[in-house]
Structure 1
Amino acid sequence: MSNNRVGIRLLCLFLPVFFLFSPAGWSQTGNWEIAGSSDGSTLIKRTEAAFVRVKSRFYLMGSRGIKPISIYDARKNTWTEGAAPPIEIHHFQPVNYRNKIYVIGALTGGYPGETPVPYILIYDPVLDAWSKGPDIPTHRLRGSTGVTVYRNRIYIAAGIKDGHRGDHKNWLDVFDPRTGEWLELPDAPHARDHFQAIAAKGRIYLIGGRRSESEKDIFANLEPAVDVFDLRTGSWSTLEEPLPTPRAGNYLALYGKKQIVVLGGETGDQEAAHSETEVLDVENHEWSRWASMVQGRHGTGAVVYRNKIFVASGCGKKGGAPEVPTMEVFEKN
């Protein structure tokens, strides 16, 4: 038997063993695909925007400049347009509270001196209408915050007060939509902006981001540490293992109640937006890697629906262009 044939047989024999014992971070679980619509309808491309689900519809909103909402109906596989916000809003993480979308901690205006929106904006999907909510306490104003909902309260974390120029915050606040009460909670270990927050298993996780300084290197000062607020004890901790691929402009999804999926982002050391999909298990705080997105993108959001993850639009390179005109969907093996 030739040496080539022996080599091939040995390779076939040991490949399964190699993959069985290879590090979790090498895993390529699942598959991403670009998702078309049933009728040829498309989204309105945008960046520094957001993506959020209410029931079976997904809402792509915000942008540089004022643009109508793009609404994806997952049952019909179609896109339609919704009402544009009353002002320009960008750099925010919207949340679904009782089937209305709350925007807290957004920025408005042009780079690099964007200003925080001083009040809460609320979008009603049934009425396709925006309304002005309560004012945000003046001394707690900032934008590019991480926002998440847990047990009927909305938590607002970190952010930046002066656009992309500075004054980064490590604040944590909680807003009760039922009473309008706003409370200040203990500061996080690290200040950050251009990131997202997510609640899981009685904790709030702050993952990704940076401390933006336009007068220096805007893409520097990445924050790889994962800060965790325990809602039962009211205390912060920082995980031993940081985000494997530090990046800003990333977005999060909670998959199956115990896996936090970190998607996309931008850094200064590569021109293309990041496509990595890294996953934190909230039970053992170990990281793994799933299949990378088809198109790297930052400045958007992620939606989980029927065990699939959807991302839409965003920017394909570091900075503000080009805006990506597609949606893609992840399905786990």
Structure 2
Amino acid sequence: MNRKKVYLFTLIHLLMYFTTEAQSTDLKEYNWTTIDTKGNVTARHESSMVEYNGKFYLIGGRGLNPVNVFDPKTNTWEEKAKPPFEMHHFQAVVYKDAIYVIAMTGKYPKEVPLENIWLYYPERDTWKKGPEIPENRRRGGAGAVVYNDKIYIVCGIDFGHTSGTNNNFDSYDLNTGKWEVLTKAPHIRDHFSAIIVDDNLYCIGGRNTSFHYPENFGAFFEQTLPYVDVYNFKENKWHTMKEQLPYPTAAGGLVYFQNKIIYFGGEGKLKEAYNTTQCFDLTTQKWSPLAPLNIGRHSGGGVVFDSKIYTAAGSPVKGGGNLDSVEVFSLN
């Protein structure tokens, strides 16, 4: 093959590569699909789902629910051990060989925060009581992330759905067992998830569940927050993004996907859960809409795996309700 042919061959393949890359990152071409699954899964909401070694672990939720494990290669659910008691309103995180839970327990509206972190070991299918949480830092409905061998817990609510929505920010060192109180976030919020992208922690969605009227206890459903608060770990500083969440909801799904932050579903003033999918482009710093969920849902879980987004469980209506379906966001 002469030099000109080699050049043309290389150019064609480069064009094919960049065209493929452009298509793969054009999320306007993606849609949500409800998939058929096998095996038994417990419908639930106020739960969390994380990926561990290529499988998804659906944990907690209202009621005493077993851990359900989803294999995305076979679309099969498997039932595992129940926790020692009801755990809900939390964002689970994975560190080494364990899944960490900082949650609430009890019945609406006076749920109480757990006194300890709880650990679930997937490979052993066992639960273990972890370190005690300082009494004045216990809460549920908080965002939780892992960064540099520490769990960071941000915002949350002290006492169920009654009072204590806060902007607290704490860390737990997984190596030394030390708790540290950090600079408060710019806004109070609960019923939300946080996410780490590079050296930034993003707080997106949520509401002020402490907000009540004497004649309308559930007024808090409409107190959703559009503000996106960001903490930079290198500068140890908070700031609030100029661009607000277009459709603010509480308890929406949150993932990092193809250099974008995807926020989907949630609950708010509507009777039904939201089916919106909202995309924040980290390059342009702008929000845009994407294809909606087939079923609006909140308080389930979201996982990115094999260039797809998976969501499972949750409630299809504001407040209580249980789903057992799985939707996948992908190119059709």
Structure 1, unmatched stretches of 5+, are: 1-26
- The reply on whether 1:331 has 2:330 as its aligned counterpart is yes
Letter in 2 for 1:135: E
- The reply on whether 1:223 has 2:225 as its aligned counterpart is yes
Paired residues of 1:192 and 1:223 also in contact (CA < 8 A): yes
Deviation at 1:31, TM superposition (A): 1.1
The secondary structure found in structure 2 opposite 1:218 is helix
Deviation at 1:45, TM superposition (A): 0.4
The secondary structure found in structure 2 opposite 1:31 is strand
Deviation at 1:230, TM superposition (A): 0.6
What's the counterpart of residue 151 of structure 1?
148
What's the counterpart of residue 308 of structure 2?
308
What's the counterpart of residue 264 of structure 1?
265
Paired residues of 1:89 and 1:108 also in contact (CA < 8 A): yes
Distance 2:280 2:171 in 1: 24
What's the counterpart of residue 22 of structure 1?
none
Deviation at 1:28, TM superposition (A): 4.0
What's the counterpart of residue 298 of structure 2?
298
What's the counterpart of residue 72 of structure 2?
74
Of residues 87, 90, 93 in structure 1, which corresponds to 2:88?
90
Q: Runs ≥4 in structure 1, deviation > 3 angstroms? A: none
Distance 1:311 1:320 in 2: 18
What's the counterpart of residue 61 of structure 2?
63
The secondary structure found in structure 1 opposite 2:123 is coil
| Identity score, percent | 41
1:131-280 aligned at under 5 Å gives the runs 131-213=128-210, 215=217, 217-256=219-258, 258-268=259-269, 270-280=270-280
Letter in 1 for 2:155: A
Select between 308-317 and 173-182 the one with higher mean Cα deviation: 173-182
Distance 1:45 1:81 in 2: 12
Question: CA deviation digits over 1:183-203, x for unaligned, max 9?
Answer: 111000000001110000200
Paired residues of 1:47 and 1:64 also in contact (CA < 8 A): yes
- Change in CA separation of 1:35 and 1:113 when aligned onto 2, cut-off 3 Å: same
Letter in 2 for 1:327: V
TM-score (norm. length: structure 2): 0.88
What's the counterpart of residue 10 of structure 1?
none
Paired residues of 2:141 and 2:191 also in contact (CA < 8 A): yes
What's the counterpart of residue 36 of structure 2?
36
Paired residues of 2:40 and 2:79 also in contact (CA < 8 A): no
Paired residues of 2:65 and 2:82 also in contact (CA < 8 A): yes
TM-score (norm. length: structure 1): 0.87
Deviation at 1:216, TM superposition (A): 5.1
What's the counterpart of residue 54 of structure 1?
52
Structure 2, unmatched stretches of 5+, are: 1-26
Deviation at 1:282, TM superposition (A): 2.6
What is the aligned length? 301
Distance 1:49 1:302 in 2: 11
Deviation at 1:225, TM superposition (A): 0.2
Distance 1:291 1:178 in 2: 42
Distance 1:161 1:259 in 2: 32
- Change in CA separation of 1:113 and 1:208 when aligned onto 2, cut-off 3 Å: same
What's the counterpart of residue 14 of structure 1?
none
Paired residues of 1:55 and 1:99 also in contact (CA < 8 A): no
